[in-house]
Amino acid sequence: MRTFDEIVQLVKLMQADQGPTLLQMRAVLDRYEGDWVLPVPQIPNEPTLPPLTPQLMAEAVDNLSMRAASVRPNITCPAIDPLKDVGVRSREYAMTRRRILAATYASSKWQLGLRRFYRQLTAYHTGSILVYPDFKAEVPRIATRDPLSTFVEPRANDELRPPEYAAFITRYSGDAIRRMFPKVRAESGGPVTNAEGWKLWDVVEWHDCDQIMWGLCGPVEQYGAHVQQSWVSSPWMPLSPAYPNRAGRPTVVAPNNVSLGKIISRLATLTGNVDLQAKLMALNLIAHEKAIFPDVYVIGRQSGSPQIVGGEWKDGREGEVNILRDVEAVGMLRTTPDPGIAQMTDRLERNFRTSTGLVPQFGGETYGALRTGRGIDALAGIAVDPRVQEMHEIVEAWMPHMNEAIFDIYKGYWGGKKYVMPSGWAGDDGEVQFTPNVHIETTANSVSYVIPGADVIQQTQILGSLFGANAISARTFRAKHPWIDDPEKEGRIIDEEKFEEALKQSIFQQMLQGGMDPMMAVLIRNHMQKGHDIFAAVEYADQEAKRRQATEAPPAPEGMIAPPEAMPGMTAGPGALQQPMPEGEMPIAGGDQVAVPQGAAAMRELMQVMGG
């Protein structure tokens, strides 16, 4: 394990090595945030002008990164035994590992971290990701760190392995440092006094394969423009003991863009273009203002010096008249702004857009010669898609290292703990239950984009065309689409919906054709209103009908043809309508006798009494 003095020397060497690159990255950040001085001539009493040109740096970074981040990558964890469904080494455990990664992404809000990482990759051509153990929650966390304060092991640009060590320089207030690390307090012999608690201090956070350590660098006022010489005379001191890195591997991921030579941002070479645009725009605005309000001059007489009566020149917009003495003539110096300034500004903007792939469609504009939506989309895709494809492929190459670090932290720090975490999949509202030492049998994983360079709309169109042409199956379509997290579960849901729709249509047909008693439909409807699906409602209605048919009807009360339970329109089922009626005799006109139900004579007497 390295000592603190060795760590200090390595940090200083990395600062010296990465200093020029960090200065260029800082220049891009200043233009992105608009935090830079407009280079115009200094004139007394002249108002300070902000940059008046479009925020091209911000547009180039945000639009390209948002398009790249609009598609989520597919994460795959292979099973050790692909032929085994459940248990050890099975596909079930492989699916659990995938859900572990999804749950960790959700707890770390990685959907936002990935968007920030794409912005870093677009602006700086490098990024910084750290996976660290959260001892309070006892889970790994994914953090997107600032590349300007990240110093990693020097490597070849084409090397695709994580760095063996890295240092992060983070700023804290003096009060925060005094609270977190009491040894820095002045009363304990440290450099941070209570009166200067509002000042910022730089703290180094060291990560390598063996240990994690924190140390104090120095106050922020010593952090100048030259990063390689920032803390040479600072009060370096360790803030914590060396904590062992139980993951056993570097948990830092710092990918680079593909380039011919050294890492350098394309945007860093265009900062001069942006500055010149802003300068020309400001000068053109000043020239127009001078043309509107020209300078006034007077020609005096030979007999005396020109004078203003009252001693002060009155602005013509106030409606007052200036009275002059000993003046021969008054003139104005009118100037016309050069129209070439605006043309030059437009030419510089065009050069910036063509160099960065910043197509007009990002700003809601289009090319004047294009009329069809397909042509506009194709031309925009030619400029944008290759850049997005390269960023997708960089993520495919580097994100598996991040996932392996997540698995190793789970096993190294809390291997025997039983976790119950909400799944982070968009289509999975359940929980994942796992024990790291049991379910994380291997850290192997892969990250892939179905169609690198395409956004969600393009992927949906391409996959839909392939499915419509019978080139791929519905299962393959679901597995490839970025918005479908669990293809198998989605397929089961689709099959269930088809069965449900078929059952509904069957019930409607029986009702229309008279093959179903209306009471059955009422029972189904009432059961569905209680929150049950149609399958449970049909089963309940069928069991209720069978129960009623099996129930023996009680004898009819005196004076009634049948008991209420067996009469139509009451609570009886359809079988009650088919019960035999008791027979009797009832006279009709002509003296003939016919069989009549028992109790009919009593019913007739009752009706006569009620009517009489």
Rounded Cα–Cα distance for residues 201 and 221 (Å) = 9
Backbone angles phi, psi at 163, to 5 degrees: -70, 150
Q: Which helix (H) or strand (E) element contains residue 165? A: strand 165-173
C-beta separation of 412 from 436 below 8 A? no
C-beta separation of 418 from 469 below 8 A? no
Ranges 96-105, 236-245, 367-376, 523-532: which has the least confidence: 367-376
Higher pLDDT, 350 or 228: 350
pLDDT confidence of 573, banded at 50, 70, 90? very low
pLDDT confidence of 440, banded at 50, 70, 90? very high
Residue 581 has pLDDT above 60, yes or no: no
Residue 598 has pLDDT above 70, yes or no: no
pLDDT confidence of 378, banded at 50, 70, 90? low
Q: Tell me whether strands 327-333 and 237-238 are parallel, antiparallel or unpaired.
A: unpaired
pLDDT attached to residue 604: 64
pLDDT attached to residue 225: 43
pLDDT attached to residue 16: 86
C-beta separation of 31 from 59 below 8 A? no
Rounded Cα–Cα distance for residues 454 and 343 (Å) = 35
Residue 229 has pLDDT above 60, yes or no: no
Domain boundary among the residues 375, 399, 432 is at: 375
Mean pLDDT of 228-257: 80
Domain assignment of residue 358, yes or no: yes
Q: Tokens representing 321?
A: 């008249």
- Where helices occur in 2-128 by DSSP H, the ranges are 4-33, 56-69, 91-107, 110-124
Domain assignment of residue 204, yes or no: no
Between the alpha carbon of residue 454 and those of residues 43, 451, 457, 573, 582, the distances in Å are 51, 6, 8, 61, 80
Residue 232 has pLDDT above 60, yes or no: no
Domain boundary among the residues 375, 398, 432 is at: 375
Domain assignment of residue 503, yes or no: yes
Rounded Cα–Cα distance for residues 348 and 105 (Å) = 42
CA-based nearest residue to 196, from 183, 184, 214: 184
Mean pLDDT of 332-339: 82
Q: Tokens representing 15?
A: 């600062």
pTM of the complete model = 0.74
Q: Residues in the chain, how many?
A: 612
pLDDT attached to residue 279: 87
Rounded Cα–Cα distance for residues 96 and 404 (Å) = 15
Residue 601 has pLDDT above 90, yes or no: no
pLDDT attached to residue 158: 76
Q: Which helix (H) or strand (E) element contains residue 200? A: strand 200-208
Mean pLDDT of 80-95: 93
pLDDT attached to residue 402: 96
pLDDT attached to residue 549: 75
pLDDT attached to residue 50: 76
C-beta separation of 407 from 368 below 8 A? no
pLDDT attached to residue 553: 62
Domain assignment of residue 6, yes or no: no
Residue 60 has pLDDT above 70, yes or no: yes
Q: Is 61 exposed, middle or buried (0-12, 13-18, 19+ CB in 10 A)?
A: buried
CA-based nearest residue to 281, from 590, 51, 523: 51
Rounded Cα–Cα distance for residues 91 and 511 (Å) = 46
Mean pLDDT of 320-339: 83
Residue type, 526: N
Domain assignment of residue 502, yes or no: yes
C-beta separation of 502 from 510 below 8 A? no
Q: Which residue in this structure is represented by tokens 């920030």?
A: 116
Mean pLDDT of 377-406: 86
371 and 301 both lie in a single domain: yes
C-beta separation of 251 from 413 below 8 A? no
pLDDT confidence of 428, banded at 50, 70, 90? low
Rounded Cα–Cα distance for residues 219 and 217 (Å) = 7
331-335, 473-477, 515-519: which has the highest mean pLDDT?
473-477
CA atoms within 13 A on the CB side of 297: 5
Per-chain mean pLDDT for the chain: 82
Higher pLDDT, 415 or 386: 415
Q: In the structure, how many helices (H) and strands (E) does the chain have?
A: 15, 19
Domain boundary among the residues 359, 375, 391 is at: 375
Domain assignment of residue 310, yes or no: yes
Rounded Cα–Cα distance for residues 30 and 268 (Å) = 11
Q: Per residue in 275-312, pLDDT tens?
A: 889 888 888 888 888 888 787 888 888 777 888 888 78
Higher pLDDT, 384 or 561: 384
Ranges 237-246, 261-270, 540-549: which has the least confidence: 261-270
CA-based nearest residue to 147, from 317, 296, 22, 331: 22
Q: Which helix (H) or strand (E) element contains residue 76? A: strand 74-76
297 and 362 both lie in a single domain: yes
Domain assignment of residue 342, yes or no: yes
Rounded Cα–Cα distance for residues 14 and 149 (Å) = 11
Domain residue limits at 352 = 292-375
Rounded Cα–Cα distance for residues 595 and 612 (Å) = 27
The CA angle 494-500-501, to the nearest 5 degrees, is 90
| 3-class DSSP state of 185 | strand
CA-based nearest residue to 35, from 16, 15, 59, 57: 57
% residues pLDDT > 90 (the chain): 29
pLDDT confidence of 379, banded at 50, 70, 90? low
Ranges 238-247, 267-276, 301-310, 556-565: which has the least confidence: 556-565
pLDDT attached to residue 600: 58
Cβ-based neighbour number of residue 514 at 10 Å? 8
Number of domains in the chain: 3
pLDDT confidence of 224, banded at 50, 70, 90? very low
pLDDT attached to residue 223: 42
Residue 436 has pLDDT above 90, yes or no: yes
Q: Collect all residues with Cβ–Cβ distance below 8 Å to 274 and sequence separation of at least 6.
A: 31, 53, 56, 57, 352
Q: Per residue in 158-180, pLDDT tens?
A: 788 899 999 999 888 989 999 99
% residues pLDDT > 70 (the chain): 82
pLDDT attached to residue 602: 59
Q: Collect all residues with Cβ–Cβ distance below 8 Å to 608 and sequence separation of at least 6.
A: none
- Where helices occur in 454-532 by DSSP H, the ranges are 456-468, 474-480, 487-513, 518-529
Residue 593 has pLDDT above 60, yes or no: no
600 and 527 both lie in a single domain: no
pLDDT attached to residue 108: 94
Q: Collect all residues with Cβ–Cβ distance below 8 Å to 231 and sequence separation of at least 6.
A: 12, 202, 217, 218, 222, 223
Between the alpha carbon of residue 582 and those of residues 184, 193, 439, 560, 599, the distances in Å are 104, 107, 73, 11, 9
C-beta separation of 349 from 56 below 8 A? yes
CA-based nearest residue to 89, from 101, 100, 79: 79
Q: Per residue in 122-159, pLDDT tens?
A: 999 999 999 999 999 999 999 999 999 999 998 887 78
C-beta separation of 184 from 218 below 8 A? no
Q: Tell me whether strands 129-134 and 584-587 are parallel, antiparallel or unpaired.
A: unpaired
548 and 585 both lie in a single domain: no
Rounded Cα–Cα distance for residues 59 and 33 (Å) = 11
CA atoms within 13 A on the CB side of 354: 6
Residue 432 has pLDDT above 70, yes or no: yes
Cβ-based neighbour number of residue 154 at 10 Å? 10
Domain assignment of residue 546, yes or no: yes
Between the alpha carbon of residue 463 and those of residues 53, 74, 474, 480, the distances in Å are 41, 15, 10, 8
